[in-house]
Amino acid sequence: MNVHEVIEEVLQRIRPTEEERAFVEGLMVELRGLAEETIESSGLDVKPYFVGSLAKDTYLAGDHDVDLFLAFPLETPLEELREKGLELGKAIAEKLDAYEVAYAEHPYVRAAYRGVSVDLVPCYDVRDWRDVRTAVDRSILHTEWVNEHLNGRNDEVRLLKRFLKGINAYGSEIYIRGFSGYLAEILVIKYGSFLEVLKNADFMLRQKVIDPGDWLKREPELAMKTLKREVETDRPLVLIDPVDPRRNVAANLSWEKYGRLYFKARAFLKEPSLEFFFPEEARVGSYLRELRERGTHLLTLLFEKPDLIDDVLLPQLEKSARGLGRALAREGFGVLEWDTGYSGGRAFLMLELERIERGRVRIRPGPEFFTERALDFYAKNETVWIEGKRLYTEKKVTENVVEVVRGLLEKSQVPLGKNLREAIKGADVLVDYVPPELEREAYLFLRRERKRIK
């Protein structure tokens, strides 16, 4: 297949059908009506806005998550917005199928309706970047800007999003650090199409700064401050938000995720394939065979999963694994790589080690040399010396990594995620073995399947 045949095949899979569009449009009309009805009965001066990919028509087939923002007047005190916004979100959600309260910068309601996830998020009714008070306020401006500038290239965005998902580089969450949907939309707007984005995938090396809002001319002082801050923190890209000169849209993008796009874009243009968009699931073999062939060891800490959302849990798991890896490296165990995650009700830290035992020499003090016990001490030990009046010897002992891990945790010598400390201290410590539900994770980890780019 040539590149255009591949693209057409992908579009057939990711472009919403007319039936799907009708469902989404009907759902949005229904949700808007429920929101307006609830707002009116509450007596609040609040405007409902749809934001995100549904509102911009850049959503992928089968992905219908709804973001409905409840915009309060700018003069509303922040605490009042949080309190009344949560109450309003709950009142709307009670008319839906189910809901729960979630937490970001402030509480919001995550509901379910007709098989679709619906986030009900309080915010300020901003018209300009100067009005922005909370992190979510810009979403209204983002939606308006994209709809104004996309000019019918919605499918090009869909292609780029699906490509980024396929190469495991999509999502700006702190535990992913990839390309956000908004960043993908801006890149398509700037370069014109999916293929042009790939052809210019070295933009972060050739053009470190992208400024679609022309802020460096319109607000040079603020834009330069943003640029200086982001360059100093070694971001792979600075894309000044076209609706706010103070923000880098690519602030969460890591070098690793950019590197995936950099190499995969070249590979796709050279040999186009559906595999880039819809990768086959990795074949899983025996993690024990993998360990034997590699000549390394697998250390796993398994503990009860705290009741935390992924945005909180996963970064803390990463911090804990990184901290344990550094501590074990200082202890001489040679840490090659680490991984984290959870399965069912248990979370895990996995580390690949060069060895699981180490030899240590311990100094053992004996009796004073002029006592009766001194002769026995002298006879039993191969190496003996005197310091002052006391005899000393040395013993070679073998320490296992499990003992070392337990000691490090008991002495609080490992930096751990603040919500995980007690759970990890009581973890099961497994060596060269994982329970059946983690065998797939262990194999993929040892093969570097989720990290490898070739």
pLDDT in tens, 293-322: 999 999 999 999 998 888 889 999 999 999
Instruction: Please name the residue that has the structure tokens 């250390």.
Output: 299
DSSP code for 250: T
The model's pLDDT over 172-190, given as tens digits with 9 standing for 90+, comes to 988 899 999 999 999 999 9
Summarised one tens digit per residue, pLDDT across range 228-285 is 999 999 999 999 999 999 999 999 999 999 999 999 999 999 999 999 999 998 889 9
pLDDT in tens, 77-127: 999 999 999 999 999 999 999 999 887 777 899 999 999 999 999 999 999
Q: pTM of this prediction?
A: 0.88
Is 90 exceeded by the pLDDT of residue 360?
no
Can you name the CATH fold of 150-276? Poly(a)-polymerase, middle domain (1.10.1410)
Q: pLDDT of 15-24, one tens digit each?
A: 999 999 999 9
pLDDT at 33 over 90: yes
Q: What is the mean pLDDT of the chain?
A: 94
CA distance 209 to 60: 29
Residue ranges of the domains in the chain? 15-126, 150-276, 286-454
Tokens of 205: 């090396």
Topology adopted by domain 286-454:
Alpha-Beta Plaits (3.30.70)
Handedness of CA 407, 413, 415, 420 (dihedral sign): positive
Give the DSSP letter string of 97-142.
SEEEEEESSSEEEEEEETTEEEEEEEEE--SSGGG--STTTHHHHH
Distance CA(183)–CA(251), nearest Å, equals 10
- Taking only the tens place, the pLDDT of each residue in 272-297 is 999 999 999 888 999 999 999 999 99
Region 126-151 average pLDDT: 95
**Mean pLDDT, residues 423-444 taken together:** 96
Q: Are 287 and 327 in contact (CB under 8 A)?
A: no
The first and second tokens of residue 253, run together, are: 């993008």
pLDDT-derived band of residue 204, with 50, 70 and 90 as boundaries? Answer: low
**Helices (H), ranges, 306-450:** 310-330, 372-380, 401-410, 421-425, 439-446
3-state DSSP assignment of residue 335: strand
Question: What is the band of 450 on the pLDDT scale with cuts at 50, 70, 90?
Answer: confident
Architecture of domain 15-126 in CATH?
Answer: 2-Layer Sandwich (3.30)
Q: Are 205 and 235 in contact (CB under 8 A)?
A: no
What secondary structure letter does DSSP report for 384?
Answer: E
32: exposed, middle or buried (C-beta count within 10 Å: 0-12, 13-18, 19+)? middle
Mean pLDDT, residues 203-213: 82
